Structure 1
Amino acid sequence: MKLLKIVALLMILSLLLAACAPGPEAPAAQAPAEQPAAAPAAEVVKEAPSLAAAVAAGTLPPLEERLPKVPFVVGPGVLLTEEDLPDWRPGRYGGTLNSAHSVADWAPDVFVMLNEPLLSAPGIGVQGIRGNVLESFEVSDDNTVFTFKLREGLKWSDGTPVTMEDVRFTWENIYGNEKLFPQGVPARFRTGYDPAGDPMTLEILDDYTFRLTSTAPYGGFLRNITIEGWNGYTVLINPSHVLKKWHPDFTPIEEMQEELQANNLTDEWWQLFRQQKWCENWHVTADRCIGYPTLNPWISVRSETPGVKVFDRNPYYWKVDTEGKQLPYIDRIVSVQVEDVEMVNQRVLAGDVDFLRESTALVKVPLYKENEARGGFRTILLDMHVDSSILYFNMTYNDETWRKVTQDLRFRQAVSLAIDRDEIIESVYYGFASKPLVSVGEEFSQYDVARANALLDEMGMTERDANGFRMVDGKPFVILVEHAAHAPDIAPVAELLSEQLKDVGLNLQVKRIDPQLWDQRILANEMQATVFWGHDQGWDSDYSGSEGAANRSFRLWSLWHLTNGAEGEEPPQWVKDMYALDAARWSAVSGSDEYNRLKEETYAWVRANLPRITVVEKVKYPMIANKDLRNVASAGYAIASNFAGEQLWFDR
């Protein structure tokens, strides 16, 4: 066993060394993104052959009529930093990118590849924010007025022009409709990213320019519409020409009756609108969104095989490379649904996957390396954008004994002290992870069973059953950890936690459940505890901004915050302190001295209160890429390559 670990460690070390090696020198003729390389028009094919054939047949307009007046130009350092992708090259058209997923109607790797935010920055950062779907923006000196410009000539995937009406409709008829949004505009459009904050105001200046104004400084707004929460352009731009057909402000309810009755909704048009007709960015891989107009590089098309999702290139996509070639390079993406994460990885080993990030794990690296040649792929060791394994206790679970125990800070401190992180780092992560010094702190990242036992005894949990497990008020205290094996490391980490916590008399039982049931149980406040990842550091101390994470720690307190007190339960002051810190951070400009100070204050709050128990930080992340795939990152966050999917191409 020790020899196997040494071999695996050597394999991972070789991957790290390969990632640090300089990439091949870029061709001398390559020009920077802002200076497209000059080439005779006859020598550069500027659109995919299938699209050129459609133009020749008269079924598709010429390329110049499909692109906006100012397209987004992709070159070195644009989608990924040059440090992370030193050998960027213009690509060639063609090929199908194969992937796999394990959850019905949800292909996460494809979702990220398709997702287009309003603004963007290299990698998944917030340094150097620029236009993306939106052509450009300006911010007033006091960080309250944000002026945006649409790309003139931008078109939906069905060829319909994107207009200011798509913005106005979203703001007034979606967010402004009390049935669709009873609380009004979402938090991202409220001062300070606060659900109770003043809503921003929209002003349409002309056919291509609009303005959003907040009542107080809201410098973090740019970050929010760039990367926060993986949100896409649908937060502000939606195809009104389609959605008006299902909105009573434009279409009589009587004309919707057939669809309403088919969905057993009677007169509840708003449910039909949200559940069936409106495809937000999170829904891009759902079957119900096949044929829905999009601005993404690929569009969902119907598959003849159940469980197989197919996405064809968008002929109206608005990005080009430095040679003027319309992106994406790859013709089609196909993702096959399999039973679980293990079967996803079996498809990798068999050579049936060209790109995979979501379901990989360090524990699989030896298998990946053994099968690279046969499967025709590369294993690239990059950085994980999340803390991969976190133990969440839902402190608002509907059980008074449970609440009394888990809301006691001493309990959370004791659990953290009882975790042998060195064992987990070695056995699950092959040494390529570290103790959570940022999100837990040095004191409670240590392995100290004696102190953990003392804290639990101090709480009064001194009575034990015949098996040595602690009891509360004469009854067994059982911790049910339900997880959905969203990643290969979650199950082994959960099992190790179960074994380790026995040493302090805690009975932690692990149960694997279906991913959809996992979501349902969290939202229904029916889950006691789980193991999942969290954006502790990737989004700069994102402890309340990602409400999914807050739901896993304190569902009812989070609901109270999201609904301005209309639902859920009022949280204690220590949780309110976190929401106040978060709001203050959002008022500051990302990267400023004030912002960085507030970020560090939030980390200090986390270490002081342990709202969730982070197991490890700074985990390496293997990414699978076909050996012929180009413009693949060699460093940085693995998920950043997903976001740059439009520049991937096959060199064959």
Structure 2
Amino acid sequence: MITRRLTLGLLASAFMPRIVEAHSFEPEYLRPYLRAAQLPELNERIPKRPRVINLASMGRDPGNYGGDMRILIGSQKDIRLMTIYGYSRLVGYNEKLELMPDILDRAEVIEDRIYTFKIRDGHRWSDGSYLTSEDFRYVFEDVIMNKELRKNGPPREMLVDGKPPRFEVIDLLTVRYEWDGPNPDFLPKLAAPQALSILLPSAYMKQFHEDYQDSVRLSAIMREQRVKKWTELHVKMSRQYRPENPDLPTLDPWRNTTNPPAEQFVFERNPYFHRIDENGRQLPYIDRVLLNVSSAAIISAKAGAGETDLQSVGLAFSDYTYLKDAEKRHPVRVSLWTRTQGSQVALLPNLNFTDKVWRPILHDARFRRALSLAINRDEINKAVFFGLAKPSADTVLPESPLFRPELAAAWSSFDPEQANALLDEMGLSNRDSDGIRLLPDGRAAQVVVETAGESTEETDILELVTDHWRQVGLSLFVRTSQRDVLRSRAMGGDIMMTMWGGLDNGVPTADMNPGQLAPTMDDQLQWPLWGLYYISNGDKGSAPDLPEAARLVELLRDWRHTTTMDERTRIWNEMLDIYTQQVFSIGIVNQTLQPVLRTAKLRNFPDKGLYGFDPTSYFGVYMPDTFWLEERV
């Protein structure tokens, strides 16, 4: 675990003699390249101190090389899943959500403001070029600080009190980032599913940068790539998160070999990947991952027909019975992992709603609490989730060290009597002949909930909530619209309430940024204009005009200046208290289950796990490079 100073990988050298002596340690897939002298031997391909993954200590078995693993994706953009699943990061989380050096040999941290990174000696990109401090320098000086490439300046994660770090190249394998104040967000952002990018293969990327490329040649490449500006060219060719450029060298376990558009994307093993098992075998075990593009609507049907070897995307809990039955017809296995959201779905009152009568009502915590108390979560759990989920507010899960039972219970019990009392207390006591409460202007209190209409689960839940809210004199009307339209209308203040997912990260540690609890992004549908104000540094949107929301932003700024775990924990606890007590998001149930289907041949795959984008990167922290395919089942 990364604390103040950490060194990892010192034992790797103990395994090196076995690699040198045993040619059988070479993957069969690479032998043709070795015979043709197109690749160096294994001991020359991996760092002098590779990262050693001790599988036995993880309760797993060292595996065998070989095989293809098929995965279905709903669109070509989903090739980003390989970056998420591969989860090769400068520093990354392990299964216990502890930060560990991965690509880096060491990360030394002083006062959470001075970060010294040591690169593994002999580490190479997938094209065989060496990873050096120049790759970090290029990104910082020629990309991040380049006003043409980044018109809005450095990313927020690299600013402390509005100032970027001082960057220094110490030597060929060492770089340092230094701020005047603490930046506790730096390492977690490097470990994120969509990681903060601070390095690129500079030798490759310089051909697309005007400071390094001849103008005539640069213009020719721009015409070839059909872009009008060199900055567009650089962005297009440098995408790491969505690896559409097969020529871009990578540090991931598998590299894309297919240009889009395509119906199948082939990712083949990176012969220079930096991890080995305890026996000296280079990871990954699996040679190729085949991403087959399909209609998202039929992924579950194809999975049940045995057309995929590892599948979670495109599968819902409602598919579980069908998928489980597929075990009788095909050599597949189905597991249930725990989803990490604070709530599987949540109702988000838009505090930026422009209706002059509804806005003060939505701003009143009593109204939000009444809506929450009026929901019969036990009934929803039994009807939609077969009683396997946990009724809860939208908050952290028991797997988080920040979990407290009172957070889950905050305004989430079924208490229509108290809900009625709160609504009466607000002055909404008059009703029409149908028993629906009347607004101050005489309109019926009809709550319009908008959804993207992408889930029958949402429809089923809203049907039940409609009955629950009618019992306290509120009418519910459901409107569906496309996802992009919905977000645009929320930003414009035209939406009263949405049904969306709850907190993205329900298993945080105090070292993780608590920004999800405050208005910090314009896609947070309960306060999009306040989020826009935050990310634009006050240039757009509007400042929070609720004291509790403003306090959340203030606490987040305090967190970004912390240097101790005690300080961070205190801030997290206060923010969780405010968020749940104010019911800024109306949670329904959490700890819901995600079906995961895999071929029966797949080994080292955990039967149980935490499933979510952030922080586990879906399968990422469970290291798919250690999965392997057994020939016989």
Tell me, yes or no, whether TM beats 0.5. yes
Which residue type is aligned with residue 239 of structure 2? Answer: C
Which residue type is aligned with residue 380 of structure 1? Answer: S
Change (3 A) 1:360 1:446: same
Report the Cα distance in structure 2 between the residues aligned to 1:41 and 1:173, rounded to whole angstroms. 39
Change (3 A) 1:402 1:58: farther
Asked if residue 581 in structure 1 is aligned to residue 555 in structure 2, the reply is yes
Report the Cα distance in structure 1 between the residues aligned to 2:353 and 2:75, rounded to whole angstroms. 26
Report the Cα distance in structure 2 between the residues aligned to 1:278 and 1:588, rounded to whole angstroms. 33
Asked if residue 335 in structure 1 is aligned to residue 291 in structure 2, the reply is yes
Asked if residue 447 in structure 1 is aligned to residue 414 in structure 2, the reply is yes
Asked if residue 100 in structure 1 is aligned to residue 69 in structure 2, the reply is no
- The structure 2 residue matched to 1:380, chosen from 331, 335, 352, is 335
- The structure 2 residue matched to 1:371, chosen from 326, 333, 345, is 326
Of the structure 1 ranges 181-190 and 596-605, higher mean CA displacement relative to structure 2 is found in: 181-190
Indicate the residue corresponding to 1:6 in structure 2: none
The alignment covers a number of residue pairs equal to 595
Indicate the residue corresponding to 2:306 in structure 1: 351
Which residue type is aligned with residue 582 of structure 1? Answer: L
Change (3 A) 1:313 1:116: same
Which residue type is aligned with residue 581 of structure 2? Answer: A
Partners of 1:183 and 1:563 within 8 A in 2: no
Report the Cα distance in structure 2 between the residues aligned to 1:45 and 1:548, rounded to whole angstroms. 51
Q: Give the CA deviation at 1:321.
A: 1.3
Indicate the residue corresponding to 1:244 in structure 2: 206
Report the Cα distance in structure 2 between the residues aligned to 1:160 and 1:311, rounded to whole angstroms. 19
Q: Give the CA deviation at 1:558.
A: 1.1
Partners of 1:631 and 1:647 within 8 A in 2: yes
Partners of 2:502 and 2:585 within 8 A in 1: no
- The structure 1 residue matched to 2:105, chosen from 135, 139, 142, is 135
Asked if residue 47 in structure 1 is aligned to residue 26 in structure 2, the reply is yes
- Which SS does the other structure have where 1:312 is aligned? strand
Q: Give the CA deviation at 1:468.
A: 5.9
> Matches of residues 527-606 of structure 1 in structure 2 within 5 Å?
529-540=498-509, 543-545=514-516, 547=520, 551-572=524-545, 573-588=547-562, 592-606=565-579
Which residue type is aligned with residue 185 of structure 1? Answer: P
Partners of 1:559 and 1:568 within 8 A in 2: yes
> Matches of residues 39-78 of structure 1 in structure 2 within 5 Å?
45-76=24-55
- Which SS does the other structure have where 2:524 is aligned? helix
Which residue type is aligned with residue 119 of structure 1? Answer: V
- Which SS does the other structure have where 2:501 is aligned? strand
Report the Cα distance in structure 2 between the residues aligned to 1:510 and 1:271, rounded to whole angstroms. 41
Query: Identity rate of aligned residues, in percent?
Result: 26
Partners of 2:68 and 2:286 within 8 A in 1: yes
Indicate the residue corresponding to 1:122 in structure 2: 94
For residues 440-462 of structure 1, the C-alpha deviation after alignment (integer angstroms, 9 at most, x for no partner) is 55241011233334434544556
Change (3 A) 1:479 1:218: same
Indicate the residue corresponding to 1:209 in structure 2: 174
Partners of 1:308 and 1:336 within 8 A in 2: yes
Indicate the residue corresponding to 2:586 in structure 1: 613
For residues 1-30 of structure 1, the C-alpha deviation after alignment (integer angstroms, 9 at most, x for no partner) is xxxxxxxxxxxxxxxxxxxxxxxxxxxxxx
Change (3 A) 1:348 1:45: same
> Matches of residues 219-618 of structure 1 in structure 2 within 5 Å?
219-227=184-192, 230-232=193-195, 235-251=197-213, 255-257=217-219, 266=228, 268-274=229-235, 276-281=236-241, 283-284=242-243, 288-302=244-258, 306-340=262-296, 342-387=297-342, 388-397=344-353, 399-401=355-357, 403-436=359-392, 439=395, 441-461=408-428, 472=439, 473-474=441-442, 477-483=446-452, 485=454, 489-511=457-479, 529-540=498-509, 543-545=514-516, 547=520, 551-572=524-545, 573-588=547-562, 592-618=565-591
Q: Give the CA deviation at 1:330.
A: 0.8
Which residue type is aligned with residue 170 of structure 2? Answer: L
Q: Give the CA deviation at 1:327.
A: 1.2
Report the Cα distance in structure 2 between the residues aligned to 1:52 and 1:519, rounded to whole angstroms. 51
Partners of 1:396 and 1:554 within 8 A in 2: yes
Report the Cα distance in structure 2 between the residues aligned to 1:73 and 1:309, rounded to whole angstroms. 29
- The structure 2 residue matched to 1:631, chosen from 598, 604, 623, is 604
For residues 132-179 of structure 1, the C-alpha deviation after alignment (integer angstroms, 9 at most, x for no partner) is 111111122x33211111122222222222222211121122221223
Report the RMSD for the aligned CA atoms in angstroms: 3.4
Indicate the residue corresponding to 1:149 in structure 2: 118
Partners of 2:340 and 2:505 within 8 A in 1: no
- Which SS does the other structure have where 1:534 is aligned? coil
Of the structure 1 ranges 101-110 and 198-207, higher mean CA displacement relative to structure 2 is found in: 101-110
Asked if residue 185 in structure 1 is aligned to residue 161 in structure 2, the reply is no
Indicate the residue corresponding to 1:650 in structure 2: 629
Q: Give the CA deviation at 1:645.
A: 0.8
Q: Give the CA deviation at 1:491.
A: 4.8
* Structure 2: gaps spanning 5 or more residues: 1-10, 396-406
- Which SS does the other structure have where 1:445 is aligned? coil
Report the Cα distance in structure 2 between the residues aligned to 1:55 and 1:491, rounded to whole angstroms. 56
Which residue type is aligned with residue 106 of structure 1? Answer: D
Partners of 2:26 and 2:42 within 8 A in 1: yes
- Which SS does the other structure have where 2:537 is aligned? coil
